[in-house]
């Protein structure tokens, strides 16, 4: 059983619930947040080993949330996987420039998602880029 916590930040409750069910079955402890304006505080409270972050959310978008996380000394080392339906190279590049570690487009096969999560959770703490 994993002891790792994953925080899912997505404004769509059905997406957070689906990911929560899938990843709980994999043995992860799951925390969720549906309001982007609460994302930073929620991350500080949960101190997850990984964040799955939606790109397009009302209020504060995922790139802004990621920049805020990476600017916070307590949160900057937490890997962030952007999870979005947007599949445009210029948006993907902007997302990486905001500090994300990986970008996954919806829909994704559950096994690919868990494989990508596992790769980031298995990284050394100072690894911040995907090779």
CATH fold, domain 5-121, is Rossmann fold (3.40.50)
Q: Where are the beta strands (DSSP E) in the chain?
A: 5-9, 29-33, 50-54, 80-84, 102-105
Contacts of 63 (CB under 8 A, 6+ apart): 55, 94, 95, 98, 100
Report whether pLDDT(126) > 70.
no
pLDDT at 124: 53
- Closest by CA position to 6, among listed 51, 44, 43, 45: 51
User: For 77-93, what is the mean pLDDT?
Assistant: 93
Per-residue pLDDT tens digits for 7-64: 999 999 999 999 999 999 999 999 999 999 999 999 999 999 999 999 999 999 999 9
């Amino acid at each position: 059983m994993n002891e790792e916590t994953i925080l899912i930040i997505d404004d769509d409750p059905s997406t957070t619930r689906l990911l929560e069910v899938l990843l709980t079955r994999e043995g992860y402890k799951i925390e969720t947040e549906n309001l982007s304006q609460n994302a930073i505080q929620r991350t500080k409270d949960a101190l997850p080993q990984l964040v799955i972050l939606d790109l397009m959310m009302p209020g504060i978008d995922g790139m802004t949330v990621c920049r805020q996380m990476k600017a916070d000394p307590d949160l900057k080392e937490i890997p962030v996987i952007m999870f979005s339906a947007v599949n445009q190279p210029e948006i993907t590049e902007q997302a990486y420039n905001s500090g994300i570690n990986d970008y996954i487009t919806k829909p994704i096969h559950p096994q690919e998602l868990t494989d990508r999560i596992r790769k980031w959770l298995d990284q050394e703490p100072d690894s911040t880029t995907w090779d």
